[in-house]
Amino acid sequence: MRIKHKPQRSCVVCRVKTDKRDLIRLVIADGKLQMDLSGKMNGRGAYLCGNRDCWTVASAQMQLARALRRELSDGDRDYLRQMTPS
């Protein structure tokens, strides 16, 4: 029996490598930051793990902006703070 390949991705903040489905993809679509729950939205994407600290660092520092190749606006940072896992 053949084992199915599971795509691996890493969190842009903590660099933990895990299955793609275990991470949350963020995408710049239509000029604003959006959460991509399907994993199929068009646009440049970056992955964050479910760790609350990673979301806090992503909104405050440059790792996410660098991965998305775009400067984050104040609205994007507010969106990240609202979507931070509990």
What is the domain count for the chain?
1
- Note the pLDDT tens digit of each residue in 61-82: 999 999 999 999 999 999 999 9
Kindly report the backbone phi and psi dihedral angles of residue 53, in degrees, each rounded to the nearest multiple of 5, phi listed first: -65, -35
- Note the pLDDT tens digit of each residue in 42-60: 989 999 999 999 999 998 9
In this structure, what CATH number is given to the domain that contains residue 69?
A: 3.30.1230.10
Kindly report the backbone phi and psi dihedral angles of residue 20, in degrees, each rounded to the nearest multiple of 5, phi listed first: -55, -40
In a domain, 75, yes or no: yes
In a domain, 14, yes or no: yes
In a domain, 20, yes or no: yes
- H runs (alpha helix) in 1-86: 52-60, 63-68, 74-83
pTM of the model: 0.90
Domain of 45, in residue numbers = 8-83
In a domain, 1, yes or no: no
In a domain, 3, yes or no: no
